[in-house]
Amino acid sequence: MRTDIVSSGVGELSYEIREIVKVAKRAENSGLEIVWENIGDPIAKGEKLPHWIKEIVAETAMEDSSYGYCPTKGLLETREFLADLNNSRNGANISSEDILFFNGLGDAITNIYGLLRKECRVIGPKPAYSTHSSAEGLHANCHPVMYELNKDDNWNPDIEDLTNKIKYNPSIAGILLINPGNPTGAVYSKKVLSNIVDIANEYDLFILTDEIYSNIVYNGKKHNYLSEVIDDVSGISLKGISKDLPWPGSRCGWAEFYNVEKDPIFHKYVENICKFKMIEVCSTTLPQKVIPRVMSDNRYGKYLEERKKHYEYASNYVYDRMKKIEGVTVNKTNGAFYNTLVLEKEYLNEDQSLKIEDNGLKNYIETISKGIPNDKRFVYYLLGSTGICTVPLTSFCSEHNGLRFTLLERNMEIMNNTFEIMAEKIEEYILSN
Amino acid sequence: MRTDIVSSGVGELSYEIREIVKVAKRAENSGLEIVWENIGDPIAKGEKLPHWIKEIVAETAMEDSSYGYCPTKGLLETREFLADLNNSRNGANISSEDILFFNGLGDAITNIYGLLRKECRVIGPKPAYSTHSSAEGLHANCHPVMYELNKDDNWNPDIEDLTNKIKYNPSIAGILLINPGNPTGAVYSKKVLSNIVDIANEYDLFILTDEIYSNIVYNGKKHNYLSEVIDDVSGISLKGISKDLPWPGSRCGWAEFYNVEKDPIFHKYVENICKFKMIEVCSTTLPQKVIPRVMSDNRYGKYLEERKKHYEYASNYVYDRMKKIEGVTVNKTNGAFYNTLVLEKEYLNEDQSLKIEDNGLKNYIETISKGIPNDKRFVYYLLGSTGICTVPLTSFCSEHNGLRFTLLERNMEIMNNTFEIMAEKIEEYILSN
Amino acid sequence: MRTDIVSSGVGELSYEIREIVKVAKRAENSGLEIVWENIGDPIAKGEKLPHWIKEIVAETAMEDSSYGYCPTKGLLETREFLADLNNSRNGANISSEDILFFNGLGDAITNIYGLLRKECRVIGPKPAYSTHSSAEGLHANCHPVMYELNKDDNWNPDIEDLTNKIKYNPSIAGILLINPGNPTGAVYSKKVLSNIVDIANEYDLFILTDEIYSNIVYNGKKHNYLSEVIDDVSGISLKGISKDLPWPGSRCGWAEFYNVEKDPIFHKYVENICKFKMIEVCSTTLPQKVIPRVMSDNRYGKYLEERKKHYEYASNYVYDRMKKIEGVTVNKTNGAFYNTLVLEKEYLNEDQSLKIEDNGLKNYIETISKGIPNDKRFVYYLLGSTGICTVPLTSFCSEHNGLRFTLLERNMEIMNNTFEIMAEKIEEYILSN
Amino acid sequence: MRTDIVSSGVGELSYEIREIVKVAKRAENSGLEIVWENIGDPIAKGEKLPHWIKEIVAETAMEDSSYGYCPTKGLLETREFLADLNNSRNGANISSEDILFFNGLGDAITNIYGLLRKECRVIGPKPAYSTHSSAEGLHANCHPVMYELNKDDNWNPDIEDLTNKIKYNPSIAGILLINPGNPTGAVYSKKVLSNIVDIANEYDLFILTDEIYSNIVYNGKKHNYLSEVIDDVSGISLKGISKDLPWPGSRCGWAEFYNVEKDPIFHKYVENICKFKMIEVCSTTLPQKVIPRVMSDNRYGKYLEERKKHYEYASNYVYDRMKKIEGVTVNKTNGAFYNTLVLEKEYLNEDQSLKIEDNGLKNYIETISKGIPNDKRFVYYLLGSTGICTVPLTSFCSEHNGLRFTLLERNMEIMNNTFEIMAEKIEEYILSN
């Protein structure tokens, strides 16, 4: 290459949720059976789409029009359906023009941050969901800016920390809210949302909210939509069908833009996002076609209820078991399908370990465990010892140690067993030194 | 907004293929029936996927695994299938690891240019395909750099122009080749490809080729793959199923990387592209699953043959009719499904027009036709007068005047009629002043 | 121009201290005699260099070696003299290698900020000295980041504000301290300096201090050098001869780098600053040659004492007179040669004015006074009414209203008269509506 | 440092003219007497300013006004004097407003390139003068773009190469011309200048010319000013007093802007350069004051004539001696005070050497001579063997091998001796292997 073509910054990207797979594959080669608790793919964990949904998809696949391009913003009838859905709640009204489909929220996120003026920042929660924090950092050629979620207060935002970081850093132009939280499973009250809106209002910011899990809320809680409390503040809500149907492989998500006309700068920014999508022509058509049929089917609600019962069970099981362990801080999750345990720092050190049967694997785990955070060390040993594959909390930009795992396993025996083994191994690891 | 969030540069993006739609919608509102010849969506033009392909898709849609995430690079079995397909030809060999799936080539293109070091450039053909040229310009915050395709030599690359621009501009790090050409329909000989490879070799560049139309070649020609002639040069080929199956709405395309290990800078660059896809998790799963089943079905070849016959007929019909018009330069297309006519500049002026029945529409067309390129003016009048919606050649970054339209219409009577009207209207317009 | 060559951002630069001159020139053309209180040029205000200093310069000008280039960092003997001077105080020791000469502090400042990584920031005081704030903003393509100086506490830094802005904004990499203050005239106690050092220590920042006025301290105060308290923190002190000798036209200043070896990042940064100077070859030679001779002359101390007496007199005169005005907040200055009055906001409005004799000038002042900050309005009316040319406080990036003027006038009668007129006009203006 | 403050790119800067000094100092420590032929400082080579010039400077130094700031653009009377000087020739007329003083041309150059829009380029000559090429490369974060000077045609610009690079690289917005040339000593004919102006005209570029040596032209040649042939093209000429008086240590140079009003983009750009100088207040005053007095003194012309005779003698001496050496290409210089010899590549290899007496120095030279260009190797051996300090041609961005040395030595015996030794050592080195 006569000239360097490598852009600086990108090389720094990491996405531990996927990178841990390399270690797990190594363990699998040593004969271990891997229990994939690292990634939130319900399908991979045995979740079955109801037959009727698959039938709708299959039927739609027999229509020729399902194969063509759709308009740049997405199919009109689907956008109208989704606008109506939003408008059926109180709060900010939108039209079909305020919705833009993406090829999944990954696509949405990289474009939304990527098209921000380089000098301005969006502050997001910590523990962070890596796609957001990586995209923010890449955009700014810097570490992402983040506010604390409080492990001792059900992972609610630390409003004081958030306010101070905004007040004292004029580069911040927007606030990211992931609700329900990933990786925390927290579901925010209307009061928390209103606090955020008040801050955005006071400092003249926009709000970006990731509501991909808005239909996965349980334990008697209810999801409060940003649009219900946003008032006149500029806002973007990200939604999709990855988690609900669940159809993560569809890469079908969308952005809802609130109060676009009320701020000319926000308006211009949103227009640019749409223009950029236009040069990619449009997003994927088939899943968009399916959305109104599935979501307006009266079997859909019942189906979601049934699934949420499962997550509720898992949520409580984990909570009840883990809270007994000294050194562990656990919050009961009320939404999404992960739990994030905190392993308190004073209980971890560099000399702890778990027994690993296979010698080659043992050596490998020992080697890669040098000079890494203590929770990553535990995650490696848990993986090498049991095949359970989780993600260390520090890889979510958190200063806390801990781990994230899913609540997805549909085989109850396997699930209970996995949680039990995890609990025992945490206890054993802590006591090992 | 307390701080400006609007990134400079993006506002300049344009994509005439989609923007002309606004004018057409206005004409439609005046009662005209629009003949959409602006965009290459076979589905929209009445192309029917064979029943057996739709059945494969529908069957695949009944499998639960079709709904989950796939690996970041794409489904392993599909990548292996595609690697084998490539390796069955002579030339550069690849493994499944050298393939990366994207959500359509739009996604591929914005990422491939977006991840280049800002200071280096990829030179592309002119007339340009807007997604490429916009992405290149956006990446460099500049006009795209381009080499001439020669209208008087079947739209072959002007090798002297290309060589000079590379030789004398050290910022150029790569060459884009669209083969078969869009918007030109040219299919390049092995000699042309070898010339490009030789240039890349001499100046130590990589080659990016867009081969999305590689299966749509006719008039007795054969597609020559970049991989067949690339030798040791670093290369990227973009392919997909938008045009073959045709399933443009799938947003399913992929990049094949050639000789990744042979240049450490290229290697690092390709790794960054994969890492960036990782933070978006993966691309869409269902279409990937379908690819091996469809492409290895022995009905597939016959089906493509049948479609190519249609394009061949249309290609020849257009050529024979248009070459009779004084002031028009037309090349017979041998691939893809567009024809790009050149309206020679000395035959156009700002006072020509066509009769538009509806008075409101007439006023509208007159108003928007002021101060624009002469070919755009013709395109507007053709649209207002007949409802036929085409794209002006100048909007493909060309200095030539002309227009691009599709060869897709499957109703032969409508198609012949459309071409005949276009021909007559060109004649009438030229003579109008 | 076939391509745009205008860099964004620069167009936004403003330097009111020089821009007010245009308005003053207009007033001069109307027959007013201008009293230039806007810029700190002692020479222009009648300050006379002692004959012996001029003789040293003239004698040095007869030596051939005074005309050649000097080493990139500056003349070795002068750097050794200055290093010794610094080392004669307690605190951070430096060698001649830790000193780099610039063509005045303007040159130093634009380079020091310009060579910072674009994504990191230096927080400076507000009211700001425009050369610093413009250079910081230009470097970051953003508004400068600033901490408050407290008008109700002798313009001392608001340590809480500073701490919060650093704590909550991780982009901040350095703190700027102007001591003695410009435009405030504040002289900081050792405790204030230690507070700043502690903050830099805690958050691992470097300190940039502008000590150009370090020899102009009076009212019984003493200048505390950053080097005396800096401990192990990375630091840069800017010094020069513009204000002492005074020889502003020499464009001769220098940077002293403290603890360069103790932080590898700081070391690299300092090296880059030196390399950048190397491509400009070196800074001006003659003034450097003169420095040791003048500064080691025993007449020098006495001369400075005599001048400081004058500023002390002016400082107290202004303070005693201005504190009597309702609506004015005034701090007694202890260093440098400006006073910055605050005109409390509730005493100003858009309908106040002063009588302007000349009708053309009156119209001009009325026209340019529309839609501008209230203090700028006052400054214009004062100029149009009396010829006294000052600088509005808001043009120092301050939210306070007020004005800065010099204490330089050496003709006592003129000086007293000027201050008296200013005081009266403030009173008159406030009462005018 | 909690965050990285090191800007990328700057670390790459090099300025061999100053960096060779480190090696020479090492040689000096081994007891060699160094003959400094690396840098164009006439003063250091024994050039004496005439007594009358020094007297003017000394007298001016006794005036108080010499010590104050001057206007941002420079002293009005000096700018008027220089505008008149330019206007006394035919060609582009300027007013005092079209002149901007800098602290030497180094300051001018870094600002002129630094304020260009990042995406546009100025093509300069090769061999390059490092201050220009470094500043261009730093501005663009790239290798500088350059056109060839032809060693086989008296170092005239290769117009074909220049035209092609401009024609085929649309990023180029300006052409740099160094006339008389540094390091080549070439003086361009009116025809060459007109060719450049024609190219700028055809491609709508601006011209930047460095005319610092315009008064140092001999061998019967005459300097042709850009302003004489520039017609309506936008242009900047850089001039100064470093080489004429000679007063390099003054850091006093200026830019003359031609046809500012004729192109609005150029106008805006020039305004930005002035604004940027404003935040640095102004450039150095004393030398500006001296300019009209010295230059309008009738002794000045005679003085320059006398000096040029010396350079003419040296120019011819070098030419006559060096042209006899096989393997050397030498052009007779007609301006400036350097000669740049080409050592033809086929005469150099990595095994050649010269005898170095001191063993420590020999080891040092052997060590640093590994893996470097062959001409740099020769320069090191020449230095180690004889103490003569020159600069390798490759460090002026040239692909040719060779060396640059000055014609400044005023002691004729020393000068002749130095040239003779250089010639002999070149012969000896070439024959050594």
Q: pLDDT of A70-108, one tens digit each?
A: 999 999 999 999 999 999 999 999 999 999 999 999 999
Residues of B in contact with D140 (CB under 8 A): 119
d(CA C429, CA C375): 11
Question: Given a cut of 80, is residue B183 above it in pLDDT?
Answer: yes
Which token pair is D224? 């042709």
For B:350-389, CB contacts with A below 8 A are none
Give the rounded distance of the alpha carbon of C363 from its chain centre.
Answer: 33
* B143: DSSP letter: P
Find chains touching chain B: ≥3 CB pairs under 8 Å: A, D
Give the rounded distance of the alpha carbon of C163 from its chain centre.
Answer: 23
d(CA B239, CA B251): 11
Question: Given a cut of 70, is residue A9 above it in pLDDT?
Answer: no
Choose, out of C138, C142, C168, the residue to mutate when testing the contact with A (most A CBs < 10 Å): C168
Kindly determine whether residue B167 and residue D167, on different chains, have CB atoms separated by under 8 Å: no
pLDDT in tens, D208-264: 999 999 999 999 999 999 999 999 999 999 999 999 999 999 999 999 999 999 999
Compute φ and ψ for A64, nearest 5 degrees: -60, -40
Interior/surface letters A136-175, b for 16+ CB within 10 angstroms, e for the rest: bbbbbebebbbbbbbbeebbbbbbebbbbbbbbbbbbbbb
* Nearest to C133, CA basis, from C182, C84, C60: C182
Kindly determine whether residue C168 and residue A167, on different chains, have CB atoms separated by under 8 Å: yes
- CATH 3.40.640.10 describes domain A65-295: yes
d(CA B406, CA B49): 18
Q: CA of C158 to nearest chain D CA: how many angstroms apart?
A: 22
pLDDT in tens, B328-369: 999 999 999 999 999 999 999 999 999 999 999 999 999 999
Q: CB of C184 within 8 A of CB of C340?
A: yes
Q: How many CB pairs under 8 A join A and B?
A: 271
User: Per-residue confidence of chain C (433 residues) as pLDDT tens digits?
Assistant: 788 888 876 766 777 888 899 999 999 999 999 999 998 888 888 888 999 999 999 999 999 999 999 999 999 999 999 999 999 999 999 999 999 999 999 999 999 999 999 999 999 999 999 999 999 999 998 899 999 999 999 999 999 999 999 999 999 999 999 999 999 999 999 999 999 999 999 999 999 999 999 999 999 999 999 999 999 999 999 999 999 999 999 999 999 999 999 999 999 999 999 999 998 999 999 999 999 999 999 999 999 999 999 999 999 999 999 999 999 999 999 999 999 999 999 999 999 999 999 999 999 999 999 999 999 999 999 999 999 999 999 999 999 999 999 999 989 999 999 999 999 999 999 999 8
Is the pTM higher than 0.90? yes
Bridge partner residues of A388 (DSSP) = A35
d(CA B340, CA C187): 75
pLDDT in tens, B295-304: 999 999 999 9
Residues of A in contact with C169 (CB under 8 A): 165, 168-169, 171
3-class secondary-structure state, position D272: helix
What is the residue extent of each domain of chain A?
10-47+300-431, 65-295
Kindly determine whether residue D168 and residue B169, on different chains, have CB atoms separated by under 8 Å: yes
Q: CB of B198 within 8 A of CB of B164?
A: no
d(CA B245, CA A68): 11
d(CA B260, CA B278): 19
C168 close to A (CB below 8 A): yes
Compute φ and ψ for A389, nearest 5 degrees: -105, 110
B346 close to D (CB below 8 A): no
Residues of D in contact with B169 (CB under 8 A): 165, 168-169, 171
Residue range B10-47+300-431 forms a domain whose CATH class is alpha beta
Q: CA of D138 to nearest chain B CA: how many angstroms apart?
A: 12
Apex D208 CA angle, D205 and D211, nearest 5: 150
Q: CA of C429 to nearest chain D CA: how many angstroms apart?
A: 31
The CA distances from residue C172 to A164, A334, C126, in Å, are: 15, 38, 16
Given the cut 0.90, state whether the ipTM is greater than it: yes
d(CA A229, CA A199): 13
Question: Given a cut of 70, is residue A12 above it in pLDDT?
Answer: no
Q: CB of C170 within 8 A of CB of D3?
A: yes
Residues of D in contact with B140 (CB under 8 A): 119
Percent of chain A with pLDDT over 70: 99
Non-local CB neighbours of D73 within 8 Å, separated by 6+ positions: D79, D96, D97, D99, D100, D101, D274, D277, D282
Give the rounded distance of the alpha carbon of C208 from its chain centre.
Answer: 14
Kindly determine whether residue D169 and residue B171, on different chains, have CB atoms separated by under 8 Å: yes
Residues of D in contact with C76 (CB under 8 A): none
- Nearest-by-Cβ selection for A168 from C141, C143, C164: C164
| Three-class SS of chain A | CCCCCECCCHHHCCCHHHHHHHHHHHHHHCCCCCEECCCCCCHHHCCCCCHHHHHHHHHHHCCHHHHCCCCCCCCHHHHHHHHHHHHCCCCCCCCHHHEEEECHHHHHHHHHHHCECCCCEEEEEECCCHHHHHHHHHHHCCCCCEEEEEHHHCCEECHHHHHHHHHCCCCEEEEEEECCCCCCCCCCCHHHHHHHHHHHHHHCCEEEEECCCCCCECCCCCCCCHHHHCCCCCEEEEEECCCCCCCHHHCCEEEEEECHHHCHHHHHHHHHHHHHHHHCCCCCHHHHHHHHHHHCCHHHHHHHHHHHHHHHHHHHHHHHHHCCCCCEECCCCCECCEEEEEECHHHCCCCCCCCCCCHHHHHHHHHHCCCCCHHHHHHHHHHHHHCEECEEHHHHCCCCCEEEEECCCCCHHHHHHHHHHHHHHHHHHHHCC
d(CA A83, CA A79): 6
- Confidence band (pLDDT; 50, 70, 90) for D17? confident
d(CA D131, CA C155): 43
Kindly determine whether residue D62 and residue C58, on different chains, have CB atoms separated by under 8 Å: yes
- Confidence band (pLDDT; 50, 70, 90) for A259? very high
Question: Given a cut of 80, is residue A10 above it in pLDDT?
Answer: no
d(CA B40, CA B36): 9
The confidence score (pLDDT) of residue C11 equals 62
d(CA A350, CA B92): 48
